[in-house]
């Protein structure tokens, strides 16, 4: 396999409030453990030109934009990607361990850069994705597995280097977050016999443009978060939440919203908590009836109005 084991993937944050500005500092950061970056796709958005003919006579470039997907196991590094999803760096509190809290505020979204380098046997190439933002990031926890993430990345420009800038691959910060450090509470009820939970966070981060091919800025868009737990049926609290009542669906009154909290930890001091506000069921289902080899499960899709993630760690300074 060409270049096997000879690639590097590292990131740096561009200055908050300065889209596509030059990153400061000498430290390159990782994105998570067991991570993958694929694809890294540059788009010229060509427009076909015709001259009263079936075949085009030319193709002209329009907007320039790139896209990538980052996946892997969640570590402390992964949570810091929220700068580029929620829009800005977190607030810091505590004296050790420290709490970092992210809040969505409409406005400019802090961007970052990705250095993706490869030694392809007879040469070296490094693509630097500039002005990157994360419109959506999903966190998934399945019983028996590590907590994983999937981040959708958009970037505004690109640079080609002929050497690997980081020098070596940065190591993940802190331990991996695991399913056995997880917990979920909905409406004040601790959810038990969990099978999985997925938190899909979407801030609609997008580019703003000007009379140029590359984006001029990046801003937060419409926020749409979804929490989807799947568990063995052992109570009726989620069914009653979907009803909006204790015995039957409400017909003429509004569904009540509740709070929820999804937490992942490492077994040590590193913990990621996702407090959710005004949570309401969009879909609710029972599954596996008639399957003698499977448990009866309930699957709930919950719409979430807002989330303020909190990272608890021994790291004493914000990135």
Residue 105: per-residue pLDDT: 86
Please name the helix (run of DSSP H) or strand (run of DSSP E) that holds residue 241, with its range, or none. Answer: helix 237-243
DSSP, collapsed to helix, strand or coil, labels residue 126 as strand
Q: Are 298 and 284 in contact (CB under 8 A)?
A: yes
Structure tokens at 49: 């030109």
Residue 185: pLDDT over 90: yes
**Is residue 115 a part of any domain in this protein?**
yes
Residue 83: per-residue pLDDT: 98
Q: Are 83 and 203 in contact (CB under 8 A)?
A: no
Domain that holds residue 226: 7-49+57-313
Distance CA(86)–CA(104), nearest Å, equals: 5
**Is residue 2 a part of any domain in this protein?**
no
SS3 labels along 263-308: EEECCCCCEEEEEEEEEEEEEEEEECCCCCCCCCEEEEEEEEEEEC
Instruction: Return phi, psi of residue 158, to 5°.
Output: -150, 150
Structure tokens at 168: 């070596």
Please name the helix (run of DSSP H) or strand (run of DSSP E) that holds residue 76, with its range, or none. Answer: helix 76-79
Residue 1: per-residue pLDDT: 42
**Is residue 70 a part of any domain in this protein?**
yes
pLDDT digits (tens, 9 = 90+) for 93-119: 999 899 999 999 899 999 999 999 999
**Is residue 297 a part of any domain in this protein?**
yes
Residue 3: pLDDT over 80: no
Residue 4: per-residue pLDDT: 52
Q: Which residues touch 107 (CB under 8 Å, ≥6 apart)?
A: 87, 88, 219, 220
pLDDT digits (tens, 9 = 90+) for 52-90: 999 999 999 999 999 999 999 999 999 999 999 999 999
**Is residue 318 a part of any domain in this protein?**
no
For Cα atoms 39, 199, 277, give the angle at the middle one, nearest 5 degrees. Answer: 140
pLDDT digits (tens, 9 = 90+) for 204-247: 999 999 999 999 999 999 999 999 999 999 999 999 999 999 99
Mean pLDDT of 173-195: 96
What is the model's pTM? 0.96
Per the structure, the count of domains in the chain is 1
**Is residue 24 a part of any domain in this protein?**
yes
Residue 69: per-residue pLDDT: 98
Task: Give the residue from 16, 142, 24 showing the smallest Cα distance to 83.
Answer: 16
Please name the helix (run of DSSP H) or strand (run of DSSP E) that holds residue 77, with its range, or none. Answer: helix 76-79
**Paired strand residues for 48:** 59
**Is residue 250 a part of any domain in this protein?**
yes
Structure tokens at 271: 């913990």
Q: Are 194 and 183 in contact (CB under 8 A)?
A: no
Residue 174: per-residue pLDDT: 85
Mean pLDDT of 166-194: 96
Other Cβ atoms less than 10 A from the Cβ of 150: the count is 16
Residue 216: per-residue pLDDT: 98
Please name the helix (run of DSSP H) or strand (run of DSSP E) that holds residue 47, with its range, or none. Answer: strand 47-49
**Is residue 15 a part of any domain in this protein?**
yes
Distance CA(149)–CA(123), nearest Å, equals: 32
pLDDT digits (tens, 9 = 90+) for 252-307: 999 999 999 999 998 788 999 999 999 999 999 999 999 999 999 999 999 999 99
pLDDT digits (tens, 9 = 90+) for 10-39: 999 999 999 999 999 999 999 999 999 999
Q: Are 264 and 272 in contact (CB under 8 A)?
A: yes
The size of the chain, in residues, is 319
């Amino acid at each position: 396999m060409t270049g096997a084991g000879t690639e590097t993937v590292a990131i740096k944050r561009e200055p908050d409030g300065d889209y596509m500005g030059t990153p400061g500092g000498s430290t390159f950061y990782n994105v998570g453990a067991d991570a993958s970056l694929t694809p890294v796709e540059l788009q010229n958005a060509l427009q076909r030109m015709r001259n009263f003919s079936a075949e085009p006579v030319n193709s002209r470039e329009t907007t320039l934009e790139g896209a990538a997907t980052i996946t892997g196991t969640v570590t402390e590094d992964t949570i810091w990607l929220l700068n580029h999803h929620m829009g800005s760096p977190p607030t810091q509190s505590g004296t050790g361990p420290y709490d970092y809290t992210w809040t969505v505020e409409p406005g400019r979204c802090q961007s970052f850069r990705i250095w993706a380098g490869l030694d392809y046997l007879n040469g070296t190439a490094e693509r630097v994705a500039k002005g990157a933002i994360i419109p959506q990031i999903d966190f998934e926890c399945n019983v028996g597995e590590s907590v994983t993430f999937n981040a959708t990345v958009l970037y505004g420009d690109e640079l080609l280097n002929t050497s690997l800038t980081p020098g070596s691959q940065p190591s993940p910060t802190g331990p991996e977050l695991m399913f056995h450090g997880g917990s979920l509470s909905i409406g004040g009820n601790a959810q038990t016999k969990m099978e999985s939970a997925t938190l899909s966070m979407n801030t609609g981060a997008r580019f703003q443009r000007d009379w140029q091919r590359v984006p001029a800025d990046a801003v937060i868009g419409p926020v749409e978060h979804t929490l989807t737990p799947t568990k063995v049926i052992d109570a009726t609290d989620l069914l009653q939440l979907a009803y909006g009542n204790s015995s039957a669906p409400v017909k003429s009154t509004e569904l009540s919203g509740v709070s929820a909290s999804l937490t992942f930890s490492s077994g040590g001091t590193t913990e990621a908590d996702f407090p959710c506000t005004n949570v309401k069921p969009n879909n609710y289902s029972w599954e596996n009836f008639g399957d003698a080899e499977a448990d009866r499960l309930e699957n709930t899709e919950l719409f979430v109005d807002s989330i303020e993630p909190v990272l608890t760690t021994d790291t004493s300074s914000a990135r």
